[in-house]
């Protein structure tokens, strides 16, 4: 297999691990708007970089955050998701404490795929968490 520019090197591994994550706000509330949405995108990009991953695309709508990133072979998708959700919630709440009185930004379940997540899949996933 030819190793080209689309592959990365990490230790002894050459890899191209693209992961797509979808996170839903707690109780599917529409809290990711305006300045908050911009901050969420910045935070998720920062956290990905801190974990040695590269955020290729971050999209935020009022109830959803979508992250496409290039992962590392030594990190499981579940580890990346945990770190993205946990650290983004902490940083977001320190910037915007009024967002949620109970201190939860995201629901615990998330969607992860090695293929891009379609709008239809995102809508179905969101519907599961609307109150």
pLDDT of res. 2: 47
| Domain assignment of residue 99, given as a range | 14-116
Say if 35 falls within a structural domain. Answer: yes
Residue 8 lies in a domain: no
pTM over cut 0.85: yes
Q: Does a structural domain hold residue 123?
A: no
Helix (H, G, I), strand (E, B), or coil: what is residue 111? Answer: strand
Within a domain: 131 = no
Whether 22 and 122 have beta carbons less than 8 Å apart is answered as yes
How far apart are alpha carbons 61 and 9 in whole angstroms? 33
pLDDT given at position 81? 97
By the 8 A CB rule, do 49 and 84 touch? no
Closest to 8 in 3D by CA, of 105, 76, 73: 73
* 47: CATH: 3.30.70.1290
Is residue 21 included in any domain, yes or no? yes
Does 67 reside within a domain? yes
- Domain assignment present for residue 59? The answer is yes
The owner of tokens 């969607």 is 111
User: Is residue 56 in some structural domain?
Assistant: yes
pLDDT in tens, the chain (131 residues): 444 457 877 778 788 899 999 999 988 889 999 999 999 999 999 999 999 999 999 999 999 999 999 998 899 999 999 999 999 999 999 999 888 766 689 999 999 999 999 999 998 988 887 65
How many structural domains is the chain composed of?
A: 1
pLDDT, position 62 = 92
Q: What is the DSSP letter of 8?
A: E
């Amino acid at each position: 297999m030819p190793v080209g520019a689309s592959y990365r090197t990490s230790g002894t591994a050459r890899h191209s691990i693209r992961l797509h994550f979808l996170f839903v706000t707690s109780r599917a509330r529409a809290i990711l708007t305006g300045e908050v949405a911009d901050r969420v995108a910045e935070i998720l990009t920062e956290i990905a970089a801190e974990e040695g991953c590269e955020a290729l695309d971050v999209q935020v709508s009022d109830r959803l955050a979508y992250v496409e990133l290039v992962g590392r072979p030594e990190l499981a998708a579940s580890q990346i998701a945990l770190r993205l959700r946990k650290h983004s919630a902490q940083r977001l709440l320190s910037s915007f404490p009024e967002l949620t009185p109970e201190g939860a930004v995201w629901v615990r379940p998330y969607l992860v795929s090695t293929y891009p997540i379609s709008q239809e899949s995102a809508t179905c996933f969101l519907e599961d968490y609307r109150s």
